[in-house]
Structure 1
Amino acid sequence: MRRIPYRLAGAAAVLVSLPLAVSPPVAAQAVEPDYTITVNPAATGATIPQSMYGVFFEDINYAADGGLYAELVRNRSFEFNSTDASGWNGLTGWTATGSATVTNDDQRLNERNRNYLSVTGAATLVNAGYNTGLAVKKNDKYDFSVWARGTASLQVTLQTVDGTALSTPLTIATKGDTWKKYTGALKATATSDVAHLKIKTDAAVRLDEVSLFPKNTYKNHGLRTDLAQKVADLDPGFVRFPGGCLVNTGSMYAYDAANNYPRARAYQWKDTVGPVETRATNKNFWGYNQTYGLGYYEYFQFSEDIGAMPLPVLPALVTGCGQNRATVDEALLQRHIQDALDLIEYANGPATSTWGKVRAAAGHPKPFNLTTVAVGNEENLPNEYWANFLRFESAIKAKYPNITVVSNSGPDDQGATFENLWAKNREHGSDMVDEHYYNSPAWFLQNNRRYDAYDRNGPKVFLGEYASLDNKLYNSLAEAAYMTGLERNADVVKMASYAPLLANIDNVQWKPDMIWFDNDESWGSTSYQVQKLFMNNVGDRVVPTTATGNVLQPKPITGAIGLSTWRTAATYDDVKVTRPDGTVIYGDDFDDGNADGWTSVTNRGNWTVSNGGYAQTTTDTEDTMVKAATISETDYDYTLKATKQSGAEGFLVAFGIQETGQFYWWNLGGWNNTQGAVEKGITSAKEQILTKPNTVTTGQTYDLKVSVRGTKVTLFLDGVEWASFDDNAVTEPFAQVVTEDTRRGELIVKVVNAQDIPAVTRIDLGKRKVARTAKQTVITGDPGEQNTRSAEPIQPVTSTVSGIASTFTREFPANSVTFLRIKTTR
C-alpha cells in the first residue's frame, strides 16, 4: 500500500495543502491498487428522489436587494432608518441638492409605505445603487417608474460620477395632488458599472417608490439574469426560502397598524405579496434593510421557472440564532397558524378563493402546487418549539393532509437540543426533520457514515444547511466526499442544500458562500462547481457498493494554550500546564507585572497585566485570543483561574492551538451567558463538539482544568467534572458512491480523492456489461485554490476515456472529484 502523507492538527487529521501539477488520469497498469470499489450484485439500492439536491435562499450578504432582485435603486422608497443599521436614514443611498426632506405623515402613499420625499422647489436627486454604482450596458433598456404627487417636470438620466451622460434623457410631467404612478424607459448609450441615476425636478413635488429595472430580467420575472441563470444551471430539485435566521428572529409582531408596523419584526409572508408599493419593509436580521420586493410570489415564480419544488419556511414563534425567546401570546400564535393555512391556499387554492385570488391578481391564476412546508429554523428552546410545532402541524394536516410538514433538530449536528428534538420527532413520527451544520473539512471527512446508522423507518432527513468552513477547493472536496454518504443513504436523506447560496462581495455577513457577485459580474465558488457536478449527475437509484483502502487514525491533541473573551472583560491568573505526575511544563502567575511569552492570535481586545492577573478589558470585542507555551506532550493538564469582570458572556479557554489556525476552546457562558460548549476552531469559524446549559457569575473566580490524554479531553469546573469528549474519529480521504441513471442506461461512478497523492483504484462492476468508453468529468487543482472575481481556476473538465470494462483500474488525481458516466449494454 502507498503511504499517504498528512499534516496533523490536534486530534484531527488535516491533509497537506501543497501546490501540485495535475495530469489527466490514466489507466494504471501492473500497479497494486490503493483502493477497491466493488458493486454488490445481489443488492438493490435506494431510489434517489428528484428533490435530492436543491438550493437554500436567504436574504443574507445582500442576496436579495442589490442581488437576485434586479432593482437597481437603493432605498427606493426612502424607508431606511437607524433601526436597520447605525447611521442610516431616509436618504441613505441618495444625494440630494436643493430642498428635499424625508417625510412621514398622513399624506404618505399608503399605510405600509410610511416615508416619502418632499421636495419644496427645484432639486436634484442622485442614486448610486449598490456596490460602486449602477451597472448598465450599452443599448440595453431600463424601465423607470416613480410615484409622485404634485405638478412638476422630472428629467431622468443615467450619468457617470462626473456628470457625463450615459443615456438619453427621459422627461416625465407629473400633475395633480393625488399619488399617481409614472413610467418611462431609459436606453444606455454606453456601458458602465459605476453609473448613477439622476432625477431633476423644477418644482415642489412629493416622490416615492423610485425604481429602475433592467428591461431584460430572468424570464421577465424581475430577477437578475446572470444570478438566476447560475442557480438554474444547478438544476435544483427544490428551493428553500426565505431563510434562515431571518425567518424566526426579530420582534414577535404580526402585521398590525396598532403597532405602527414595527421594524425588526418577525418575517411574515403576507408582508411580501401584492403590489410592491404596498409591501412593508423590515430590518433584516443580518444588519440592513429588506424591501420585500423579492417576496413570496417571486419565490414561488422562480421555483416554477427553474423546475424546482418550492419549500417555504415559516416562523414557529420561537426565536433562534442566539435570541432564544418563545411567544406567550396565544392570539399571536393562532394568527401565525392561520397564516400558514392561508399560505397553502395562496399557493394551491383556486383563483376564486380568498388567497388564491391574490395570487391570480399578481399574474398567476394557476396553482403553484406546493407540497412541503417547514415550520421553524434552528430553535434552541426544544420544548417550547416542539409545543408550537405540534400546533402548526395539527392545523395543517387537518385541512391539508397531503402536505409534508418539516420539523427541525436545532442549530447543531449534535448536543442536548439535537438529541431532545430528534427523540420527540421519532416518537411522534414526523414527516421530515431539518438538520443544519457548518463544520471543518476534517469533520466532513470523518463523518461520511453519519447517516448509515439512522433508523430506516424513522422520520426522513432534510439537510437544509451545510458547508465546510471556507471557500477553497479543499473545503469543496470534503463536502463532495460527504455527499457520497448522503447519496448512499438516499432512503433516509431525502433533500440536501448547501448554504448560503449568494454573497455580494462588498456586503458579506457570512461565508463560505456558493455564488459570489458584484453589481455586474458573478462567479461560482469551488463549491458551486462541485455542487453543480453532483446536482447535474444524481441518477435515480443507488447501486450498493463496498470500498476498501487507506484511512488515517487520529493523533493526540498538542499545541499552544490560549485565552480569549467574547464581548466580555475577564481576568485570568495562575496559568499552569503540568504532566500527569505533577511536573510543571509551563506556568505564569503574572506576579512580575508582565505577560512575557503571550502573543496575540487575532489582534483584538486590550490585554494587560493588572493586580497580578492577565486581563482583557474591553466588552465590545469578539474573539480576543492570545496564546503561549506550545505543548508537545500528549498527556497534560492545563489549569487556571478565571474571573468575569463585566460584559455579555464568560470565558474562552483554548488549547491545541496550531499554526494552521486550528484550535479547541472551552466556551463557558457563551451565547449571551446561556450555554457552554467545546468548539473546534478552523481559522475564524468553529464547529461544536459538545454543548450544555451554563452561566457565569460576574465577580466570581472559577477554577478551570483541561485534562488532555491523547485524543481524550476531560474538563473540570471548580473541581467537578463538567464534560468530556474524545476526538478520535478516523479520517477517510477517499470516498465513493455509484448510482444509476435508468432512463439513460448509465452507471455514474463518483470518486472523491481528498489527498495530495493520486489514488489507484480497482472498480468491479460485477457482471454488468458496459461500454468500453465513458464520459469523464474531473474537478481538481491546488487544494488551497479558490475562485474569485479576477479568476476562476477551478472548473470541471470533461473528456471521453477508454479502458472501461466490467472490472477496470483507474488512477484518480490528487485532490479531485471524478464522475464517470458509463453506458450499460444488454
Structure 2
Amino acid sequence: MRRLFAILALLTCAAATAQQVDITVHVDQPAAEISPHLYGLFFEDINFSADGGLYAELVQNRSFEYYPVPGGNPLSQRYHPLYAWERVTHGDAACELQVEKGIPLNRNNTSYLAVRVRRGGEGAGVQNLGFDGIRLDKGDEYRVSLYSRWEDGRGAPLQVELVDADGKSLASTELEAGGRDWRKSEAVITAKANCDDARLAVTTTGRGKLCLDMISLLPVKTFKGRENGLRVDLAQSLADLNPKFFRFPGGCIAHGQGLENVYRWKDSVGDVAERRANWNRWGYHQTYGLGYFEYFQLCEDIGATPLPVLPVGVSCGFTPPYQCVPIEEIGPWVQDAVDLIEFANGPVDSKWGKLRAEMGHPEPFGMEFICLGNEEHDTPEFAERFPYFVEAVRKAYPDIKIIGTSGLGPGIPLYRQMQRQDVYSSDEHYYESPDWFVQHQDRFDDFDRNAPKIFVGEYASRGNRLQNAVAEAAYLTGIERNADIVDMACYAPLFADVNHTQWNAANLIHFDKRNLVKTPNYYVQQLFAKNKGDQFLTTDIEQKINQQDLPEYAGAVGVGSWSTAVAVRNARLNGEPLDPSDWTAHGGDFGVQDGEYRQTDEQAQGVISIAPAEAGAEATYELEARKLSGAEGVLLVFGCDDPENYFWWNVGGWGNTQHAIEHCVDGSKYAIIETRGSIETDRWYKLRVETEPGRIRCYLDGELVHDYQHPTPKVGVSSTFDKQTGEVILKLVNPSTEDLKAQVSLSGGKVQAKSVDSILLTGSPSAANSIEEPDNVEPTTSQVDVSDSFAVDMPASSVRVLRLPLE
C-alpha cells in the first residue's frame, strides 16, 4: 500500500512543473530586532554525554562509588562498586579485591578499593576497562593520578601501566604510594601506539593491604588545554555551532527522579576528589568531574552566555512518586539559587566567590540569566514553591534575568503562572513530528508582546534524517520572524554515544570513542546560528499551489479508546457495512458482544482496532458509539496506513472536555483542529467522518463539529539584515518533496554583487549521517547569480542560505 504517512508527504504531491514562490524583501522595513542570544546549546547528561563523552576522563567508576541504580531498567541494576574493574596478577602473584568504607578519602567519597596482596610476585593489583575500552593515540601524553595508602604503612611503590587487550605494555610509570595516610600521586605518560581497547593497570610487588581511590587517566590534550578538561573534538563541535548561550546541566536530571538524586550544584564544585557523585534518571552514574565550574569555563571557552538550570523543590513529574520539599524546609533550596549567582559573579572575598577563585578563576563569569525549574507539571505544589525562588533571586540580585518554565508541550500549561510572576522569559519544550514543525511556523505570530519573552529550550522533530532537519529549519524561520518575543532557542538533546543511547528519537551529535557524527539537524543549527543577522525584514511570500497537491486521507478505518471502555455498532464505509469480527486489534480488549464491538479495558490508552477495508480519496465513514465507562470518549480511526500512522477523530478527549482531529506520525500525535465538547456515558451517538482531498468534516448526531481544510503548504523564508556587514541574509527552506522555483525581489535596497556564495543543504528526505557514513548529508557551497530581482532554485527537502551585499 502506498505510504501516505511518510513524514511530510502531506505537504505536497507530484507536480508536472516546478511551482513558483514569489518573495519580496522590504529592505527598508525592519520588522523585529533579533536577540543577540537567539541560538544556543542545551547540554544534558543523557546518552552518556558527560562521563565517557564530553568529559575527557578515560577511567570509568574511578572512585568505586557505583551501585545498582534505582528503577526498573535491568541495565541500571548491573552497576556495583567494582564495575569496569578486574583483578590483575603476574607470575605467581595473588590478591583479592574488596570495596570498603572504613577510612574513606573524604566524607563525599566514601568508598575505596582494598587490594589484599598475599603474594606480590611480579605484580598484583587491578585494572580498569574504561568506557568499553580506553582510546589511546600514539605519541599523545596522558596524566595519570591516584590516591593510595598502605594500611600497615609499608609504602611499597606502584606500577601504573597502559596495556592492550593482550596485555602488551603501551605506556608505564612508577608512582610512590602513601603510608598509613592517603597520598595523591601523579605522572604524565606517553602512548607508544594507537589503541581503542586499552586498560589502565595499577599493580604492586609489595605485600599487605593496599588502598586505592580516585584512579584517573586524562589526556593532556584537552579542549583549550584544561587540566580537568573536555574531549577536543566534541567540545570543538560545540564551538563550531557559534552558540550564544549554553544551558546546563540538563533538563529532567536537574530536578531528578526523586529528591534523592536532584542535581545540587554545590556537589559538583571544588576538588574533583571531594565532589559527591550521583546517579541520574537516565539510569547510570555521573561523577560530577564535569561540574558547574567546568560548565562555566566551557561557556567562556566557546563564547556562550551561561544558562544554569536549578531545581525548585519538586521532583520530575513524569516519574512517580512525585516528591516535594516540605515548604518549611524550602529555605536551603532557595539559598542554593542565590549562592550560585555568588559563585558565578561574586567577589573573591565572598564565600562562593572565594571558592571560584581557588578553583582558578578569580574573575567573575558574568552570569546574566538563571533558569528556575524544568518541565514541571501544573500542580499546587509547584505553584506554591516557585515564587519563593523568584522573590529571593530578585531581592539579592535584581539584575539577574529569571527564566521560568512553561511546562512540557506546545500547550505551555505553566505560561500563565510565569506571566503572573513576571519572569524575563519562559522556557517551553516540545518534541513533535516534522509535519508539526512545518505547519506551526506561525506559532508565535499572535503571542502577547507584553507577556514574558519565549525561550524555546528543548525541541526536536523526532529524527535525524534530512527531512527532520529541514522541518526544523522551517520552524526556525518563524522564530526569526518573531525574534522580538522569542529570545532564545536550542535543540535537544545534544550528544549521544551510539553504543549507549537512552533517547533514540533524535540527538544533534552522535559519537563513539574515536568518531564524531554531525547530523543534518546539526548543520541546520549551524547555518542559522552563523547567518542570523540583527533585524528581521518585512517579507511578502506568495506561493502558487495546485489543487492536485492537496493531501488525500485514504487508508484503513477503525475505532479506538483512551482510558475508556466503549461500544460501537453499525459501522459503515461509503454505505457498505463493516464486520468488526474481521478487525485487527492493537492493544486493549476488543471483541464482539451482544451485536456490538466493544473495547472493555478501561485502563488501556490509545488502543485501536483496524478494519481490513480501505477508504479512497473521497469517503464517508460512520458508526454509532456508546461510552461504557472511563475518563474520556471514543476514537474514530481513518486514513490509517499502519498502527503508528493514522488520523483519528477524538470525541470527548482530554478528560471528556473537547473534541479534536489528531494526526499520528510514527507514533507521535498532535491535534490539527480542536473544539470544546463532551459526551455522556451510556448514550448512543451517531458519528460520521467525511474526507476529500485537503478536507475533513466530522459530524456528531448530524451536527457539524469540525470542518478542517488543509492549510496551504508553506515554504519557510527568513530575511534578515546584518548591520556589521551590510548584507541581507536570505534563508530559503523547502520542506516539501517537490522542487520549487523562487523569484526574489528586493524593495528599498539594491544588491551590490552580481553573484554570491550559496550554501545549500539538500538530498534525499530520508538521508542521514552515521559512523560509517558521516558525510552523507552536509552543506555545499556554489555561486548563484543575483540582482535586485533574481530567480533561484529551492530543491525538494532543502535549506539555502544567501548573503546579499547592499550598495
Distance 1:79 1:328, change over 3 A: closer
Query: Of the candidates 738, 741, 747, which is equivalent to residue 760 of structure 1?
Result: 741
Correspondence 1:581-660 to 2 at 5 A = 585-588=577-580, 598=584, 627-632=610-615, 634-637=619-622, 656-659=639-642
Distance (whole Å) between structure 2 residues aligned to residue 106 and residue 548 of structure 1: 75
8 A contact 1:13–1:554 mirrored in 2: no
Distance (whole Å) between structure 1 residues aligned to residue 606 and residue 502 of structure 2: 16
Query: Does 2:331 correspond to 1:334?
Result: yes
Distance (whole Å) between structure 2 residues aligned to residue 729 and residue 100 of structure 1: 70
Give 1:456 shift: 1.9
Q: What's the counterpart of residue 348 of structure 1?
A: 345
Q: Deviations over 1:728-770 (max 9, x none)?
A: 5525341111111111111111101122332211111114121
8 A contact 1:11–1:556 mirrored in 2: no
Give 1:42 shift: 5.1
> What is the letter of the counterpart of residue 560 of structure 1?
A
Q: What's the counterpart of residue 646 of structure 2?
A: 663
Correspondence 1:619-768 to 2 at 5 A = 627-632=610-615, 634-637=619-622, 656-659=639-642, 661-664=644-647, 680-687=663-670, 708-710=689-691, 728-730=709-711, 732-768=713-749
**Which moves more between the two structures, 192-201 or 401-410?**
192-201
Q: Secondary structure at the match of 1:302?
A: helix
**CA RMSD, Structure 1 to Structure 2 (Å):** 4.0
Distance (whole Å) between structure 2 residues aligned to residue 189 and residue 788 of structure 1: 30
Query: Of the candidates 194, 208, 213, which is equivalent to residue 213 of structure 2?
Result: 208
Distance (whole Å) between structure 1 residues aligned to residue 281 and residue 13 of structure 2: 36
Give 1:108 shift: 1.5
Q: What's the counterpart of residue 140 of structure 2?
A: 140
Distance 1:112 1:637, change over 3 A: farther
Give 1:45 shift: 2.5
Distance (whole Å) between structure 2 residues aligned to residue 145 and residue 17 of structure 1: 62
Q: Deviations over 1:402-459 (max 9, x none)?
A: 1110112110102xxx2x5223333443311111111111111111111111122221
Q: What's the counterpart of residue 67 of structure 2?
A: 81
Correspondence 1:302-317 to 2 at 5 A = 302-317=298-313
Correspondence 1:392-403 to 2 at 5 A = 392-403=389-400
Give 1:44 shift: 2.3
**Which moves more between the two structures, 186-195 or 474-483?**
186-195
Query: Of the candidates 349, 354, 363, which is equivalent to residue 357 of structure 1?
Result: 354
Q: Secondary structure at the match of 2:294?
A: helix
Query: Of the candidates 549, 552, 559, which is equivalent to residue 555 of structure 2?
Result: 559
Q: Deviations over 1:595-649 (max 9, x none)?
A: x65377xxxx8999899999999x9x9998774435416442467789999xxx9
Give 1:557 shift: 4.7
Which 5+ residue runs of structure 2 have no aligned equivalent?
A: 71-75, 89-93
Distance (whole Å) between structure 1 residues aligned to residue 653 and residue 215 of structure 2: 44
8 A contact 1:57–1:500 mirrored in 2: yes
Give 1:154 shift: 2.5
Q: Secondary structure at the match of 1:528?
A: helix
Distance (whole Å) between structure 1 residues aligned to residue 629 and residue 165 of structure 2: 51
Q: What's the counterpart of residue 47 of structure 2?
A: 61
Q: What's the counterpart of residue 268 of structure 1?
A: 264
Distance 1:597 1:272, change over 3 A: same
Distance (whole Å) between structure 2 residues aligned to residue 525 and residue 774 of structure 1: 26
Distance (whole Å) between structure 2 residues aligned to residue 174 and residue 715 of structure 1: 81
Q: What's the counterpart of residue 277 of structure 1?
A: 273
Q: Secondary structure at the match of 2:352?
A: helix
Q: Secondary structure at the match of 1:513?
A: coil
8 A contact 2:18–2:739 mirrored in 1: no
Distance (whole Å) between structure 1 residues aligned to residue 291 and residue 589 of structure 2: 47
Which 5+ residue runs of structure 1 have no aligned equivalent?
A: 1-5, 19-30, 253-263, 590-595, 694-699
Distance (whole Å) between structure 2 residues aligned to residue 73 and residue 494 of structure 1: 40
Q: Deviations over 1:120-145 (max 9, x none)?
A: 11544232222x31111111111111
**Which moves more between the two structures, 441-450 or 663-672?**
663-672
Distance 1:271 1:33, change over 3 A: same
Query: Does 2:109 correspond to 1:113?
Result: yes
> What is the letter of the counterpart of residue 350 of structure 2?
S
**Which moves more between the two structures, 700-709 or 372-381?**
700-709
Distance (whole Å) between structure 1 residues aligned to residue 13 and residue 77 of structure 2: 41
Q: What's the counterpart of residue 754 of structure 2?
A: 772
Q: Secondary structure at the match of 1:481?
A: helix
Distance (whole Å) between structure 2 residues aligned to residue 193 and residue 634 of structure 1: 60
Distance (whole Å) between structure 2 residues aligned to residue 269 and residue 105 of structure 1: 25
Q: What's the counterpart of residue 812 of structure 1?
A: 794
8 A contact 2:568–2:598 mirrored in 1: no
Give 1:727 shift: 6.2
Give 1:797 shift: 1.0
8 A contact 1:565–1:616 mirrored in 2: no
Distance 1:120 1:11, change over 3 A: closer
8 A contact 1:249–1:321 mirrored in 2: no
> What is the letter of the counterpart of residue 521 of structure 1?
N
Q: Deviations over 1:536-594 (max 9, x none)?
A: 1111111111110035886565533568999x9x99976873359xx5642335xxxxx
Q: Secondary structure at the match of 1:300?
A: helix
Q: What's the counterpart of residue 536 of structure 1?
A: 530
Distance (whole Å) between structure 2 residues aligned to residue 184 and residue 704 of structure 1: 79
8 A contact 1:152–1:205 mirrored in 2: no
How many residues end up aligned between the 2 structures? 764
Q: What's the counterpart of residue 415 of structure 2?
A: 422
Distance 1:505 1:286, change over 3 A: same
Q: What's the counterpart of residue 91 of structure 2?
A: none
8 A contact 1:706–1:713 mirrored in 2: no
Q: What's the counterpart of residue 234 of structure 2?
A: 227
Distance 1:492 1:361, change over 3 A: same
TM-score by length of 2: 0.85
8 A contact 1:488–1:542 mirrored in 2: yes
Q: Secondary structure at the match of 1:410?
A: strand
Q: What's the counterpart of residue 250 of structure 1?
A: 257
Distance (whole Å) between structure 2 residues aligned to residue 512 and residue 297 of structure 1: 28
8 A contact 2:245–2:306 mirrored in 1: yes
Q: Secondary structure at the match of 1:794?
A: coil
Distance (whole Å) between structure 1 residues aligned to residue 7 and residue 667 of structure 2: 19
> What is the letter of the counterpart of residue 741 of structure 1?
D
**Which moves more between the two structures, 314-323 or 452-461?**
314-323
Query: Of the candidates 179, 202, 209, which is equivalent to residue 199 of structure 1?
Result: 202
Distance (whole Å) between structure 1 residues aligned to residue 650 and residue 24 of structure 2: 45
Distance (whole Å) between structure 2 residues aligned to residue 37 and residue 45 of structure 1: 16
Distance 1:455 1:105, change over 3 A: same
Q: Deviations over 1:236-272 (max 9, x none)?
A: 00001111111123222xxxxxxxxxxx421111111
Q: Deviations over 1:686-741 (max 9, x none)?
A: 44679999xxxxxx99999976444668799xx9x9x9877655253411111111
8 A contact 1:578–1:585 mirrored in 2: yes
Distance 1:705 1:206, change over 3 A: farther
Distance (whole Å) between structure 1 residues aligned to residue 325 and residue 698 of structure 2: 39
Q: What's the counterpart of residue 21 of structure 2?
A: 35
Distance 1:611 1:768, change over 3 A: closer
TM-score by length of 1: 0.83
Distance 1:809 1:610, change over 3 A: closer
> What is the letter of the counterpart of residue 251 of structure 1?
G
8 A contact 2:28–2:747 mirrored in 1: no
Give 1:660 shift: 9.6
Distance (whole Å) between structure 2 residues aligned to residue 278 and residue 715 of structure 1: 66
Query: Of the candidates 96, 99, 112, which is equivalent to residue 103 of structure 1?
Result: 99
Q: Secondary structure at the match of 2:253?
A: coil
